[in-house]
Each structure stands twice: as C-alpha cells, then as structure tokens.
C-alpha cells in the first residue's frame, strides 16, 4: 500500500484499508463471541478477524492491480528484483535503528506513565485514557500531513525536482506547526 502511495495513488490504498477495517469490525464480535455455528474464540478470534481482514484486503488489492495492469505489478521475470541487496539493507538498518530506538523509548515511557497513573485509582486511569485518546485525535492530522509530505518528497526526489522537494517540505512543516 505504501508503494501505491509513493507512486502518487493515495485513494486506492485508502479504499483497501477501509475494506480491511470494515471486515475487522464485522468479524471481531463474530469470532470473539461466536455466532451460530461459529464457536467463541475469545482473544484468538480478534487476531483471526484481523488476519482475515488484512489478507482479504491484500488479495483484493492485488486482484485490482492485475485487472488494471498497473505499472507497479511485478511479473515472473521481475521477481529477482525482490532479492535484498545487502548494502541497501545495511543502510536501511543504520537509518532506521535510531527511529526504532525512539519508538522503544516512547513505548517504555507510556508503560511507566500508565503504571504511575494506575496507582491513583480507576477514575484517574479512565480520565488518563480519555485524555490520551483526545491527544491521539490531535496528532492524527499531523501524522497524515507527515505521511503525505513523505510520499510527495519521495516522488520529487525520484524525479530530481529538488525545488519542489524544498517547497513540499516547507508547506508540510507550516501545516504541522499551525
């Protein structure tokens, strides 16, 4: 899906993510609690619902790519291109390691914070949960702008349009600050 976004198509991935979410929402209660001949699976049902939703969405998207004869579609003779290049893989790991460590620190601090909040009782924990959810809603537009800027910058870097890279970055930063 990220590849389609990088190629300038943000609608198709959106529709397939929407399909996945709708399937997940419908299948979760069915598989968790059981309906008719389907036995209740508990938390495993939730995992299975997500797996089914994701695989269905992926299969449908691949089918659409084949039907449209999309330029990103790989053919048998191009499958060798998927073999990882160790130099590129090493560079990706070196660039991604700091971001991965940042996420570990953020997740760890969230666990510590939740542990501290839990000591004040269920009302405080509930209030913290509500505040965290509201903060997530505040962050969503910034994350969306960041994802779109990333996609647009990647396209323009690939095209060698460095002036547009700078302009997209400036506008994206301006939107996120506001």
Do both 73 and 4 map to the same domain?
yes
Per the DSSP assignment, residues forming a β-bridge with 38 are 35
Domain shared by 30 and 17, yes or no:
yes
- How far apart CA 133 and CA 128 sit, in angstroms, is 9
On whether both 40 and 97 belong to a single domain, the answer is no
DSSP string, 129-168: HHHHHHHHHHHHHHHHHHHHHHHHHHHHHHHT-HHHHHHH
Please count the structural domains in the chain: 3
Q: Which of 44, 9, 4, 5 is CA-nearest to residue 27?
A: 44
Residue 38 belongs to domain spanning: 1-81
**30 and 106 fall within a common domain:** no
DSSP letter for 9, please: -
Q: What is the reported pLDDT for 1?
A: 65
Return averaged pLDDT per consecutive 10 residues of the chain, 178 residues in all.
70 90 96 93 95 96 85 79 88 91 94 95 93 90 87 87 93 86
* Stated pTM of the model: 0.57
Alpha helices in the chain (DSSP H): 2-6, 11-33, 43-68, 86-118, 122-159, 162-177
The answer on 91 and 59 residing in a single domain is no
Residues 74 and 90 in one domain: no
Q: Which tokens belong to 40?
A: 């209740």
State whether 49 and 88 are in the same domain: no
Containing 77, the helix (H) or strand (E) segment is none
Tell me: do 136 and 158 sit in the same domain: yes
Q: Are residues 77 and 89 in the same domain?
A: no
| Per-residue pLDDT at 37 | 92
Q: What is the pLDDT of residue 6?
A: 66
Q: Based on the domain organization, do 43 and 104 belong to the same domain? A: no
């Amino acid at each position: 899906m990220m590849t389609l976004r990088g190629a300038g198509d943000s609608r198709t991935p959106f529709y397939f993510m929407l399909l996945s979410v709708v399937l997940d929402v419908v299948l979760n209660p069915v598989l968790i609690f059981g309906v008719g001949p389907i036995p209740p699976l508990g938390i495993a049902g939730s995992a299975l619902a997500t797996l089914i939703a994701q695989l269905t969405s992926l299969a449908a998207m691949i089918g659409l790519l084949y039907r449209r004869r999309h330029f990103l579609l790989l053919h048998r003779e191009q499958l060798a291109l998927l073999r990882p290049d160790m130099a590129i893989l090493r560079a990706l790991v070196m660039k991604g390691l700091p971001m991965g460590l940042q996420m570990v620190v953020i997740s760890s601090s969230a666990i510590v914070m939740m542990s501290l909040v839990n000591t004040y009782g269920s009302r405080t924990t509930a209030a913290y949960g509500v505040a965290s959810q509201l903060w997530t809603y505040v962050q969503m537009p910034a994350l969306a702008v960041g994802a779109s800027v990333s996609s647009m910058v990647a396209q323009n870097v690939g095209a060698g349009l460095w002036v547009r890279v700078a302009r997209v970055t400036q506008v994206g930063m301006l939107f996120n600050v506001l």
